[in-house]
């Protein structure tokens, strides 16, 4: 018996298959059903929890997982009283299939809405500061202009978002540049100027400040995986050779602002974020001279044709980001 693919030929394609024969049916019995329950169980971390979410009896899930493990010939979870933990093989499977399942659902949504208004789910990742500024307007416009589209917004740091883009876990992302070419299509949406934020009455004299002025002052900055931190450290190093004093590491800018307001130190944020969340009387805002800035970049995942829903949401996202970040 010859493999299925060997028996027919698309025009323009000549196929040679080695080793000779192979029956496709043998390994074609995997169904989405089983993979979907796997992904849910893996992400939730327990059968009972997944049972609640999926509204399927827990023994049925147990059986599906066991059958999946038999089908791939690998143990995918370690069971314990604490739930289900992925084995390395299970992690490999999750990483590979979850993005594919998402794309499959999207493809079906795209065909379902063929010749109609765009429909389906669109997942967008943004860095927290941009998300905080843009999310409301984006959600509002998508709800009004694309009622058939479900929007998922995910916050994350640029480094994580890049991983998600490459694994196709997200459909579009707003991250901070420079737009390093990782074989992604990217477009610069805005250049976000960074500003110094201090509690009212505790800032430097009005007017621009130099990076050197930060020396020895207690600062509240995000951790080193955060792009903002790198920009500031690099500027401090290059411009004045000073070393920064990090009083507190706070990843969430809202927390940083609270700490600044409490007088624990200064922080640095994009001007658009400051204008929106630090505009009340509690803070003093100072620009840098020379300017400190970051590129705000719109990045697409590699390859695959986007759905119309993604294209439309992207257009709205670009407009709103450019508008709100000036």
Partner DNA sequence: GCTCCTTACGTCTCCCGTAAGAATC
Partner DNA sequence: GATTCTTACGGGAGACGTAAGGAGC
Hey, which residues between 22 and 41 contact DNA (CB under 7 A)? 31, 33-34, 37
- Minimum separation from the CB atom of position 149 to DNA (A): 27
- Which two structure tokens, joined as six digits, stand for 281? 């009387």
Q: What minimum distance in Å lies between the beta carbon of 2 and DNA?
A: 18
Pick from DNA, a second copy, none: which does 81 bind, CB < 5 to 8 A by kind?
DNA
Residue 227 Cα distances to 186, 221, 234, 251, angstroms: 17, 11, 11, 11
223 binds, among DNA, a second copy, none (CB under 5 to 8 A by kind): none
83 binds, among a second copy, DNA, none (CB under 5 to 8 A by kind): DNA
CB closer to DNA, 50 vs 274: 50
The sign of the CA dihedral 17, 19, 23, 27 is negative
Residue number, 37 or 267, with CB nearest to DNA: 37
- Interface map 109-148 toward DNA (x if CB under 7 A): ----------------------------------------
Cα 112 to Cα 109, 117, 119, 124, 161, distances in angstroms: 5, 10, 8, 21, 29
Q: At closest approach, how far in Å is the CB of 305 from a second copy?
A: 7
290 binds, among a second copy, DNA, none (CB under 5 to 8 A by kind): none
How far apart CA 246 and CA 239 sit, in angstroms, is: 18
Phi first, then psi: what are they for 241, rounded to 5°? 65, 15
When CB distances are held under 5 to 8 angstroms depending on the partner's kind, the choice from a second copy, DNA, none that residue 79 binds is: DNA
Ramachandran category for residue 86: left, alpha or beta (phi over 0 → left; psi -120 to 50 → alpha): beta
Nearer to DNA, 90 or 265 (CB): 90
Structure tokens at 12: 């323009």
Binding DNA (rule: CB under 7 A), the pick from 7, 17, 43, 79 is 79
Q: How far is CA 180 from CA 155, 184, 186, 285, 306, in A?
A: 20, 9, 9, 30, 22
Instruction: Work out how close the CB of 119 gets to a second copy at its nearest, in angstroms, rounded to a whole number.
Output: 10
120 exposure class (CB count in 10 Å sphere: 0-12, 13-18, 19+): buried
Instruction: Pick one of a second copy, DNA, none as the site partner of residue 59 (Cβ within 5 to 8 A by kind).
Output: DNA
DSSP state for residue 173 in the 8-state scheme:
E
8 touches DNA (CB under 7 A): no
- Per CB under 7 A, 63 contacts DNA: yes
Q: Which of 6, 22, 72, 83 binds DNA (CB under 7 A)?
A: 83
């Amino acid at each position: 018996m010859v493999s299925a693919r060997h028996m027919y030929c698309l025009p323009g394609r000549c196929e040679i298959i080695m080793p000779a024969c192979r029956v496709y049916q043998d390994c074609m019995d995997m169904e989405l059903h089983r993979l979907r329950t796997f992904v849910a169980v893996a992400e939730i971390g327990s059968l009972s929890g997944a049972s609640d979410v999926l509204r399927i009896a827990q023994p049925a899930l147990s059986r599906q997982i066991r059958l999946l493990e038999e089908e791939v010939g690998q143990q995918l979870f370690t069971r314990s009283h604490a739930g289900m933990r992925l084995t390395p093989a299970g992690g490999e499977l999750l990483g590979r299939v979850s993005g594919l399942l998402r794309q499959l659902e999207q493809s079906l949504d795209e065909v379902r809405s063929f010749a109609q208004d765009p429909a389906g789910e669109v997942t967008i990742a943004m860095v927290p500061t941009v998300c905080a500024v843009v999310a409301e307007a984006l959600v509002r416009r998508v709800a009004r202009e694309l009622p058939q589209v479900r929007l998922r917004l995910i916050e994350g740091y640029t480094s994580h978002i890049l991983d998600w883009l490459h694994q196709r876990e997200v459909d579009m992302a707003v991250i901070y540049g420079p737009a390093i070419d990782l074989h992604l299509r990217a477009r610069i949406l805005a250049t976000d100027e960074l500003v110094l934020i201090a509690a009212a009455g505790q800032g430097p004299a009005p007017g621009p400040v130099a990076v050197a002025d930060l020396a020895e002052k207690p600062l509240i900055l995000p951790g080193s995986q955060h792009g903002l931190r790198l920009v500031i450290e690099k500027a401090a190093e290059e411009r004045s050779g000073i070393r920064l004093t990090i009083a507190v590491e706070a990843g969430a800018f809202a927390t940083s602002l609270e700490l600044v307001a409490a007088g624990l130190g200064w922080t640095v944020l994009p001007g658009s974020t400051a204008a929106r969340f630090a505009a009340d009387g509690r803070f003093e805002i100072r620009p840098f001279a020379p300017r400190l800035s970051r590129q705000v970049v719109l990045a697409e995942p590699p390859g695959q044709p986007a759905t119309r829903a993604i294209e439309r949401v992207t257009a709205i996202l670009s407009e709103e980001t450019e508008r709100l970040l000036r």
